[in-house]
Amino acid sequence: MTGLIITGTDTDVGKTVFAAALVAATGARYWKPIQAGLDGETDSQTVQRLADVASMRIVPEVYRLKTAASPHAAAEIDGLEIDVERLEPPATEAGQPQLVIEGAGGVLVPLSRRMLQADLFARWDLPVVLVAATRLGTINHSLLSIEALKRRAIEIRGIAFVGEANDDSERTICDFGKVRRLGRLPQLAELTPTSLATAFKQNFSREDFV
């Protein structure tokens, strides 16, 4: 892994929690280039807490937007426009921990009036992991996300489910979407660095991500 993008079928599906598990399991650094919403803990702070890593493993955000909204709208509220030229992933050198990049919201979230997030992923030319909930509606959201990624020739490393088991939904998405199921992070009653690391180890193979 030189860089792996964590995207999702929606906002609030569990990208940050999954990214934290991945950072802890692989030793990678974490980067959330666009943080929209500064009330409460930011995604970078959540990852640092849940992965239980030193702050040097967290690459600073490029845009810290006040409002929890789509990046294009949050940027406009702050009186600026997101410039994709500023969103180049930090270089990873040989021997250095690699990089987990968390996107904002879902695949087709606008970054500006001109660009969707998936267009930025295509420009980066890095593989993505799609985080999908297992709840009702996930088949539609997941297959739409997969189509949007494939249309832009973005490599999909696989799909990571989050939530209670739903074997039929998971199988249906992987069959129609022709994507690999990487595992499922169960709903954890207590979310701590230890419970998360254990759940990741039990349900995913670290080798799929390095």
Ligand X SMILES: Nc1ncnc2c1ncn2[C@@H]1O[C@H](COP(=O)(O)OP(=O)(O)OP(=O)(O)O)[C@@H](O)[C@H]1O
Binding site for Mg ion (CB under 5 A): 15-16, 43
| CB distance 181 to 159 below 8 Å | yes
Q: Which listed range, 5-13, 114-122, 176-184, 202-210, lies at the site for ligand X (CB under 6 A)?
A: 5-13
Q: Which is nearer to ligand X, 16 or 166 (CB)?
A: 16
Query: How distant, in Å, are the alpha carbons of 59, 147, 167, 189, 202 from that of 102?
Result: 11, 20, 26, 24, 23
SS3 at position 161: strand
In the list 45, 67, 92, 187, the residue contacting ligand X (rule: CB under 6 A) is 187
Query: How distant, in Å, are the alpha carbons of 76, 89, 96, 148, 174 from that of 112?
Result: 9, 18, 32, 18, 31
15 catalytic? Reply is no
Query: Residue 24 interacts with ligand X (CB under 6 A)?
Result: no
Q: Tell me which residues in 145-174 interact with ligand X (CB under 6 A).
A: 162
Q: Which listed range, 4-12, 55-63, 69-77, 83-91, lies at the site for ligand X (CB under 6 A)?
A: 4-12
| CB distance 18 to 182 below 8 Å | no
Residue numbers at the binding site for ligand X (CB under 6 A): 8, 11-17, 43, 105, 162, 185, 187-188, 191
Active site residues: 32
